Amino acid sequence: MSESLAILVAETIGGTQRLTWGNESALRLLGYGIEDLRVLPVGRLFPTLGGGELKLLLRRERAARMTLPVRTASGADLEAVVVTTPSPGGRMWTVRLLSTANEQERALRATADAHERRFSALTERSPVPTLLSEQGMRLAHVNDAFCSLVGRRAEQLLGTGWIDTIHEDDLDGVIERVAAALEGDEVEIQARLVRDDGTVRTTVIRFAHLFSPGVGAGFVGTIEDITDRLAFEARLAHQANHDPLTGLPNRTLLAQYVAARFVSGTSGLACLFLDLDNFKVVNDSLGHTAGDELLVEVADRLRATVRPGDLVARFGGDEFVVVCEDVDEDAAVTLAGRVSDALAQPMRLGGVDVRPYASVGVTVQTAEHVMAEELIRDCDIAMYQAKAGGKGRVTVLDQQARAEAREKLRLVAELRDAIEGCEISLYYQPIFGTQDGAPVAVESLARWNHRERGAISPATFVPLAEESGLITGLGLLVLEETCRQIADWDHLLGPAAPPRANVNVSALQLDDNLPAQVAAALERHGLDPSRISVEITESALMKDPDSARAVLQQLRDLGVELAIDDFGTGYSSLAYLRHLPVDCLKVDRSFVAELADGHAEIASAVIALAGNLGLRTVAEGVETVEQAEELARLGATYLQGFSLAPPMTGGRTAAWFAARSGEER
């Protein structure tokens, strides 16, 4: 060790930091003998340091430097720069003492003073509000940014004046954090500051320990003003949970509100579900601006009519929900009646008096309600019961209808799983030409064999898919599987494979996406468009004939054949029919069945109409030889029915066509 430097070694012994060694320079500087030094606690050497400051000097993680009075053996204090360096284990420190009595140390002190002046200048000009205490709670310095934040002059804040800016409800917490900082901790707290003009700013105050030699423990405080950020976050939270048009809570907040008050097995919580009758008429006749005005007025009337403490929420569209606590069924129905009466009062929209009648469903919590969402779901069901009863009504939930609706919801969930899991299978029924009896195509028929319920009829699950928004997925599954099956048949049978497959399309699929979806499926499986015929019901075409015609023309341009299914069962316009780009009309099975009773008039008329328009016909539901012969005599192009060939799986269809091909050879 260099004898020109005063070097000491400190160690942690029995939980206390003690001096264990010193070189000759240190012994001369302090006036101790080596034996006396070895039993000396480090704190005895630095009398101005408290417990917190001593920890800052003897850090385990990194070196520390302080200018301190050092107590010599004679009891006199010697000012020195103290530099401590920890060993890797963190239990031993090398302590260097640099007396400021010589020129070198005076230069070091001057450098330190210069650093302090630069720090003060930096703090003063900083945009971060900053407090500086050199002793306890009393401020020695406050910068301009903090003065601007609280709207007060520096001389009003120095000493303990800054405490007056802390909101009285937050003062105890701030003082606790300051006390922790004085002990050596780094802490923070969210606290409100009161400006001189009385306005309040919400801030985060961070306190760090500061030790000033010869003075004592203090702190540096930095302040972050988060008032605007909190206001912005509150606006975002409000927007996320409230309807922007009416300002009412939205569906998300409604669910949270009911869940917070729902206790299974109790009663007294009620929901009213309102749906405006004929709201679409207002939108269509007076415009969407008038519709928005109506919704805002309805929201205002609901708020003014319900009891204080009741929640009014906009569920979506023209649907609203009222949630009441501590009511029985009679009180809930009475409130629903008041609401209906209030809404039915006329209001002026676009120069027209409008009475916004509503259908209201009422549900009061019972022991059968296990989850909060069941309560809202049940009042929705009750509202549909009210509409079915003639609109403008108040209806309490019917338990049988509730059971049916819940069963329907379960079936929808199971259908979704079946579609996503490709559990819907396809059967294929051959279609025959009347001239030679040869099979010319097959129709793809979706079948659902439920694992627990067994076979479920398409008459049940197809409308269910349309109502629940699953029809697009179901339709794409049928289209994709049909194209895959045709390609498989081609590979297995070659020229003997079915020439074409007919695929049914729902009215809800009849949009601009359909042609691209058909083209993509054909391309994936390398099929010519002529291998597919798209069947669309007459009622689907007549919903929007102009739009339907445009979609059909795109399909025709692809090279896909088009057929109108169930022709004659709807209300089609023959003028539109003449302009639709279709190839075939399918005679509904109900008209074919009438042939057995000697009534061939409608079937004959449909076949004759198709012939006059240059269209082919497929007679469905042919069950007897006599029906087949009569339809051939009437001029039907193709026949389809169980007696001719039943629907079959893809494998059985391949075997059936292979056998037919062998017989012909």
- The average pLDDT across 506-514 equals 86
| Residue in the structure block whose two tokens are 């520096």 | 154
- Strand ranges, E, within 228-301: 270-276
In which element (H, E) is residue 356 found? none
DSSP code, position 307:
P
Task: Give the long-range contacts of residues 233-241, CB within 8 A, separation 24 or more.
Answer: none
How many CA atoms lie within 13 Å of 316's alpha carbon, on the beta-carbon side? 3
- The average pLDDT across 461-468 equals 87
pLDDT above 80 (res 428) = yes
- pLDDT at residue number 106: 59
First-to-last C-alpha distance (Å) of the chain:
112
Residues 658 and 439: their CA atoms lie apart, in Å, by 12
Interacting residues of 344 by C-beta distance below 8 A, sequence separation 6+: 355, 356, 357, 392
Q: Which two tokens stand for residue 517?
A: 């979806």
Q: Which two tokens stand for residue 552?
A: 């059909």
pLDDT above 80 (res 482) = yes
- The average pLDDT across 50-62 equals 74
Which range is least confidently modeled, 122-126, 416-420, 434-438? Answer: 122-126
Mutual angle of helices 471-493 and 399-420, in 10-degree steps: 40
CB distance 645 to 652 below 8 Å: no
Residue 502, by phi and psi: left (phi above 0), alpha (psi -120 to 50) or beta? beta
CB distance 279 to 358 below 8 Å: no
Residues 654 and 647: their CA atoms lie apart, in Å, by 12
- pLDDT at residue number 367: 81
Residues 73 and 30: their CA atoms lie apart, in Å, by 6
Q: What is the mean pLDDT of the chain?
A: 86
Tell me which residue of 613, 617, 611 sits closest to 586, measured CA to CA. 617
Residues 42 and 45: their CA atoms lie apart, in Å, by 5
- pLDDT at residue number 422: 86
| Residue in the structure block whose two tokens are 């445009």 | 550
Helices and strands counted in the chain (H then E): 25, 26
| Residue in the structure block whose two tokens are 């929209």 | 349
pLDDT digit string, tens, across residues 555-582: 999 999 999 887 866 655 566 677 788 9
Which range is least confidently modeled, 43-52, 354-363, 407-416, 419-428? Answer: 43-52
CA-based R_g, the chain, Å = 44
pLDDT band at residue 102, thresholds of 50, 70 and 90? low
Q: Is the CA virtual torsion 326, 332, 336, 338 positive or negative?
A: negative
pLDDT digit string, tens, across residues 9-40: 999 888 888 899 999 888 888 888 888 888 88
pLDDT digit string, tens, across residues 603-654: 899 899 889 889 999 999 999 989 999 999 999 999 999 989 999 999 999 9
Regarding beta strands 424-433 and 319-324, do their DSSP bridges make them parallel or antiparallel, or are they unpaired? unpaired
pLDDT band at residue 110, thresholds of 50, 70 and 90? low
DSSP code, position 648:
B
Which range is least confidently modeled, 63-67, 237-241, 353-357? Answer: 63-67
Mutual angle of helices 288-305 and 329-343, in 10-degree steps: 140
Percent of the chain with pLDDT over 70: 92
- pLDDT at residue number 567: 80
205 class by beta-carbon count within 10 Å (0-12 exposed, 13-18 middle, 19+ buried):
buried
pLDDT band at residue 101, thresholds of 50, 70 and 90? low
